[in-house]
Amino acid sequence: MSEAKKAPGGLYYTKEHEWVKLEGELAVVGLTDYAQDQLGDITYVELPEVEAEVEQMGEMCVVESVKTAADVYAPLGGVVAEVNSALEDQPELLNQDCYGAGWLVKLKGFDQAELDNLMDAAAYGQLLAEGE
């Protein structure tokens, strides 16, 4: 697996293996390639309600795979603007395209300063390397 697939540049990362991509006023959130690989076949995603408020690193939603259920934490505090409802019928999108069609949530109203608490691709790659 290439480094780029594992952790593409231009995104922000958390220690809990979430990624964030800024799209204007919105922050798109998903699970990293490492996270989807560790979870195995994902069978269900319990998405938050639109307009729900989340805190940075607070519980945001739950992802279930054939072997476990894992909490997903909000990389930034804010309000849920959109959820990826395609995951309701196709949770496998998370395994197939975690940085694209398998996104989880879009947040709005977040504080730019909170981005300082996140890692860039290089730092996240380092974290993965240490773990292996």
What are the b/e assignments for 72-103, b being 16+ CB within 10 Å? bbbbbbbebbebbeebeeebebbbeebbeebb
Which residues form the interface with other proteins (CB under 8 A)? 43-44, 46, 62, 64-65, 67-69, 71
Tell me the closest approach of the beta carbon of residue 64 to other proteins, in angstroms. 5
Distances (CA, A) of 68 to 62, 120, 132: 10, 28, 21
What length is written for the chain? Answer: 132
| Shorter beta-carbon distance to other proteins: residue 3 or 46 | 46
| Shorter beta-carbon distance to other proteins: residue 26 or 62 | 62
| Shorter beta-carbon distance to other proteins: residue 69 or 129 | 69
Tell me the closest approach of the beta carbon of residue 130 to other proteins, in angstroms. 26
